[in-house]
Amino acid sequence: MSDLITVQGVVLSAMPVGEYDRRIELLTRERGRISAFAKGARRQNSPFMAVTTPFVFGTFTLFEGKTSYNLSQVAVQHQFTELSQIQPGIYYGYYFLELAQYFGREGTDEKEMMNLLYVTVKALLKKDMDPRLVRCIFELRTMTEQGMMPVLTECGGCGESVPEDGCFISQEAHGVLCDACSRMAKDAWRISAAALYTMRYIVSVPMGKLYTFRVTDEVLSELERFIHLYVSKNTDRRFKTLDILQVMCS
């Protein structure tokens, strides 16, 4: 006996299986990160062909088999096919999916990460939005959603609240430090008020407002300096898609 279930989700990845089939990985609201078998998805006239590809958001109907889920039907909400034409946006997109996949777990509610991916992919499609800024925002907000938000309001050393201007930041301290405590940290550097303000904004604003601002090149460099290293220090995988992104953008 198999049961039919319906989940809302996004396709994170798709892998060919055998001659005509595909295995997809989904991030879903109801079941967390799951994989599903899409029979015949690589046959020319299969209704699954176009909808079992990365960046497809929709409602997926699945048979719950003994060992895996089997795809039965897909109702697409958003497909983002235009993203594949955008360079280097598409490479950023694949990296974002891999980061979401890294943190996704079976059986958890992934609604927030799905929403974050959705607004982030939309941001990549905006012509006036720098994908480097999109990456900083996505990474920092992902760490926040995963319960690994850096400390941005009080000093990681003494606990005193730090002024926006004249504040230091450190990976060792997992966030900001006051002037006195920064002298004890090997890797502390002075962060500008604008960059700190931007980071506080990213961790706290409603999802829909995440991609509504721009920053100067100087501030963007500060964000990259802290956030990219913060992600790599707090994850234990080398992201293949990030290697590709770096090659494409160098």
* Chain residues 219-248 in contact with Zn ion, contact rule CB under 5 A: none
The 3-state DSSP class for residue 193 equals helix
Eight-class DSSP state of 106: B
Q: How far is the CB of 226 from Zn ion (least distance, A)?
A: 18
Nearer to Zn ion, 114 or 155 (CB): 155
Nearer to Zn ion, 158 or 193 (CB): 158
The window from 53-61, 135-143, 154-162, 211-219 that contacts Zn ion (CB under 5 A) reads 154-162
Q: How many CB atoms lie within 10 A of CB 51?
A: 20
The window from 93-101, 149-157, 214-222, 235-243 that contacts Zn ion (CB under 5 A) reads 149-157
The window from 47-55, 59-67, 152-160, 200-208 that contacts Zn ion (CB under 5 A) reads 152-160
Q: How far is the CB of 174 from Zn ion (least distance, A)?
A: 13
The window from 40-48, 89-97, 179-187, 228-236 that contacts Zn ion (CB under 5 A) reads 179-187
- Helix, strand, coil percent content, the chain, rounded in steps of 5: 40, 25, 35
**In the block, residue with structure tokens 């929403």:** 115
Q: φ and ψ at 115, to 5 degrees?
A: -60, -40
Work out whether 54 is an interface residue with Zn ion (CB under 5 A): no
Q: How many CB atoms lie within 10 A of CB 198?
A: 21
Site pattern 100..139 for Zn ion (x: CB under 5 A): ----------------------------------------
Of 9, 150, 157, 175, the one binding Zn ion (CB under 5 A) is 157
CA distances from 54 to 60, 129, 220 (A): 14, 22, 28
Cα–Cα distance between 201 and 199 in angstroms, integer? 5
Amino acid at 214: R
